[in-house]
Amino acid sequence: MSDKVKYLLDESRIPKAWYNIVADLPVPPPPPLHPGTLKPIGPDDLAPIFCPAIIEQEVSAERWIEIPEPVRDIYKLWRPSPLIRARRLEQALDTPAKIFFKYEGVSPAGSHKPNSSVAQAYYNQQAGIKKLTTETGAGQWGSSLAYAGALFGLDVEVYMVKVSYQQKPYRRALMETYGARCIPSPSPLTASGRAILEQSPDSTGSLGIAISEAVELAAQRDDTKYALGSVLNHVLLHQTIIGEEAMLQMADAEAQPDIVIGCAGGGSNFAGIAFPYLREKLAGRLNPKVIAVEPASCPTMTRGRYAYDFGDTGHLTPLVKMHTLGSTFIPPGFHAGGLRYHGMAPLVSHVLNLGLVEPRAYAQTECFAAAVQLARAEGIVPAPESSHAVKAAIDEALRCKAEGKAETILFCLSGHGHFDMQAYTDYFAGKLQDVPFDQQALDKALSELPQVDESAF
């Protein structure tokens, strides 16, 4: 095995296509449904909020989708992202395991999100769109779309989950530096926001609410479209560049992962690192254990139901079949804002349901402890979201130690925590508590799931 610390690739080796797992699934994924009729929708139903090229990707079953040259040109600013062998963490853990991580925090916005925001901004600009609306939780997606908007001359309006808006003023400042407008959600600017504020004036918001606000605005104007930062097929597609690059780099490292790990909020960075490996697994060429990690306080995969549900709280979006806590479930305001979504990407839910992926949930304080351990060994301070993947990687490395196995672990470090340092301050001050899970709230939200007759399609 190679003894390098860091596996770089020349920009000429940025993959030329994204990978679409739909082409290789043994069972096709269930179709999305119209929110009014509860019948399968077609591409036309998405036209009010997405431009044609995005819709085409959303419904595509092509295995490879070419990355446009202008998008690859922008990727070159930070891609290929480095693959790093975490030797110092291995030493600190005294484990025989080999730990590699793919570090997406080198992007301008500090996470994997620009992999999709740049692509989405490009396609919208090509379609003559002038403005994009979106939501953001932790702020990773909002700042990534703000960045992409600056590159392609698009106005960007970001509805930021209120609890994050308040906790992360630096994220707002970053969006504004890129020229975007950032609004706390729920806001009085939309019917969806006003409806929530009437019921709960002190609402700290949720991704589901913020999505409703952004979608509502986009549907009202021809020159405005909506951009989603996770969950949907086309977003997961764009993120597969992470796994495709990782495969090239693992080959350079003369190693193959026995375990592939990603944190999963909406599911996009997880899909990014995992789907290319699932292709190899489905084809029988590799057989890694694939782990999706979520927070114990928003446990979509480990406690949710695999069912049709709305993507948003305002019920403006199509229904998709996914692991969900119910669109009326509002998770507690813990710090990993990017993992506070009530659902999970339909494609991630589908592969979970097929038994291809192992879900796992961790409490936030044990994730911060893992993050600090990584920071003191490797220097990088992870985003709170990414710390869930770090925790799983450390746990697997310790299992290897207990079992005396020299397995190879690959995880996606989806972003840095530079804009989340208040959470670290709170952690060190003992202010972060692991909130007991509210099973009653979950039961109530699940009882409100829409009734869908799946036998009809």
Residues near a second copy (CB under 8 A) are 4-6, 8, 10-11, 73, 76-78, 84, 88, 106-110, 114, 147, 150-151, 169-170, 172-174, 176-179, 372, 375-381, 416, 418-419, 421-422, 424-425, 428
Instruction: Give the C-alpha separation, 83 to 341, whole Å.
Output: 28
Minimum CB separation of residue 9 from a second copy in Å reads 8
Residue number with CB closer to a second copy (6 or 34)? 6
Strand ranges in 75-130 using DSSP code E only, listed in sequence order? 83-85, 98-103
Minimum CB separation of residue 232 from a second copy in Å reads 24
Residue number with CB closer to a second copy (150 or 248)? 150
**In terms of Cα–Cα distance, which of 146, 134, 139 is closest to 312?**
134
Tokens matching residue 13: 């080796």
Residue number with CB closer to a second copy (106 or 354)? 106
Alpha helices in 180-267 (DSSP H): 191-199, 207-220, 233-239, 241-252
DSSP annotation string for 47-84: TTTS-HHHHHHHH---SEEEPPHHHHHHHTTTPSPPEE
Minimum CB separation of residue 334 from a second copy in Å reads 17
Residue number with CB closer to a second copy (7 or 50)? 7
Tokens matching residue 455: 């036998």
How do beta strands 98-103 and 408-413 pair?
parallel
DSSP annotation string for 148-167: HHHHHT-EEEEEEEHHHHHH
DSSP 8-state symbol, 22 = G
Minimum CB separation of residue 278 from a second copy in Å reads 29
Q: Are 50 and 375 in contact (CB under 8 A)?
A: no
DSSP annotation string for 293-305: EEETTS-HHHHSE
Minimum CB separation of residue 300 from a second copy in Å reads 29
Residue number with CB closer to a second copy (281 or 391)? 391
Minimum CB separation of residue 6 from a second copy in Å reads 6
Minimum CB separation of residue 435 from a second copy in Å reads 22
Residue number with CB closer to a second copy (284 or 430)? 430
**In terms of Cα–Cα distance, which of 273, 44, 225, 35 is closest to 126?**
225
Residue number with CB closer to a second copy (159 or 424)? 424
Task: Give the other-Cβ count within 10 Å of 455's Cβ.
Answer: 5
Minimum CB separation of residue 388 from a second copy in Å reads 17
Minimum CB separation of residue 92 from a second copy in Å reads 10
**In terms of Cα–Cα distance, which of 372, 412, 342, 339 is closest to 112?**
412
Residue number with CB closer to a second copy (168 or 360)? 168
Residue number with CB closer to a second copy (178 or 334)? 178
Alpha helices in 225-310 (DSSP H): 233-239, 241-252, 268-282, 300-303
Rounded to the nearest 10°, the torsion over CA 301, 306, 308, 314 is -30
Minimum CB separation of residue 51 from a second copy in Å reads 23
**In terms of Cα–Cα distance, which of 41, 51, 44 is closest to 225?**
51
- Bond into 96 cis (ω within 30): no
Residue number with CB closer to a second copy (177 or 220)? 177
Residue number with CB closer to a second copy (33 or 182)? 182
Residue number with CB closer to a second copy (418 or 444)? 418
- Give the number of residues written for the chain: 457
Minimum CB separation of residue 225 from a second copy in Å reads 21
**In terms of Cα–Cα distance, which of 158, 159, 217, 215 is closest to 185?**
159
Minimum CB separation of residue 372 from a second copy in Å reads 6
